[in-house]
Amino acid sequence: MTDSPSEWAEKIFATDHRAITRAITAVENNDAVAVPLLKRLFARTGRAFVVGITGAPGAGKSTLVEKLALEYRQQGIRVGIIAVDPSSPFSGGAILGDRIRMQSLVTDEGVYIRSMATRGHLGGLAAATQDAVSILDAAGYHFVLIETVGVGQDEVEVARLADATVLLLVPGMGDEIQVFKAGVMEIADLFVVNKADRPGAEQLGQQVRALLAGAARREEWVPSVITTVATTGEGVAALREGIEQFRTYGEQRNLKHRRRKEQWRARLLELLRQRLFQKAVAGHLDDGSIDRHVEAIMQRSRDPYSVIEELIGEFVRASRPQAGEGRP
């Protein structure tokens, strides 16, 4: 027998891993039960501190996330991990399995790990990431670590979701200047020079500090530059302390509140676009009508802009109350 949203929510509040897994799968698949469940969970969200870990492929994000989670667990802090991976072109699922890469955490009941596929979503995150964060938040995880897909210079979206954003750089990869040009410099709250046992690590750290000294930022916070060797755990305690310092700073300056206000503004607009699109498609479009419009555009008998204006007009007219509707 399927749980009601209320019963399902109670299991999530009790940190039932199976219930959490089912809930995240439901939001990924846009199941009908997902929204009623999220409504039930929402009042218990807003307590977790969300940390985004981003950087180019090969920077060591998964290893660092594993060691950082272990560091938190030593303090008795419960940790949720969302690792966003590339999508399989065949199944649509995550290509890499972070449960395999984070073996030291798998048996720890105080840790929950979920791999999520991007499914074509740009910006380094999966479309359902924010809802997954809300589920883990409601389940009582104190910290939620989000590891982005590592697609390169396009990963600024994590800053719109995370309370703190950590950017990993690695000496010898030759991508540090391109990263700064891409605007990631402005959204990172902490910089990590990982694989610091390699030649050039000290020089890279100095370069980052020099660039930060002349950079314009939205807040007064000057990001820390921390060196780590994630494979051995070296520097991970310093990273945890740096995150805690930023968290304290954010609480003192009301930064967390301001950022979350921006996040929810963006989220409301995103949800509005999604719902309006779904309603428009469900009510006025099917594969046959889309194909007819496409064929007209291909033949140049119609232009795409006029087609869109026509479809919007039809949707607006259909949404208006008919004469006599809504009257007592």
Q: Cα separation of 114 and 133, whole Å?
A: 11
| CATH code given to domain 45-253 | 3.40.50.300
User: Which residue, among 198, 187, 183, 191, has the nearest Cα to 161 in the 3D structure?
Assistant: 187
* Domain extents in the chain: 45-253, 263-319
pTM above threshold 0.85: no
Backbone angles phi, psi at 121, to 5 degrees: -75, 135
Measure CA 45 to chain center.
16
Q: What are the pLDDT tens digits along the chain (328 aa)?
A: 478 999 999 999 999 999 999 999 999 888 999 999 999 999 999 999 999 998 888 889 999 999 999 999 999 999 999 988 654 433 444 445 545 567 778 789 999 999 887 654 444 455 688 899 999 999 999 999 999 876 444 456 777 889 999 999 898 866 555 555 556 667 789 999 999 999 999 998 988 888 888 766 656 788 999 999 999 999 999 999 999 999 999 999 998 888 889 888 988 888 888 888 877 776 667 667 888 889 999 999 999 999 888 888 877 777 776 655 554 4
CB 279, CB 315: distance < 8 Å: yes
Sign of the CA dihedral running 276, 278, 281, 284: negative
State the Cα–Cα distance between residues 101 and 87, nearest whole angstrom. Answer: 17
Specify the 3-state DSSP secondary structure of 133.
Answer: helix
- Tell me, what's the pLDDT at 212? 81
236: amino acid identity, one letter: V
C-alpha separations of 3 from 9, 21, 22, 300 in Å: 9, 14, 11, 52
As a whole number of angstroms, the distance between CA 99 and CA 78 comes to 17
Contact predicate 19/114, CB 8 Å: no
According to the model, what pLDDT value does residue 153 have?
44
Structure tokens at 46: 């807003």
CA 196 to chain centre: 27
pLDDT of residue 291: 86
Phi-psi region of 93 (alpha: psi -120 to 50; beta: other; left: phi over 0): beta
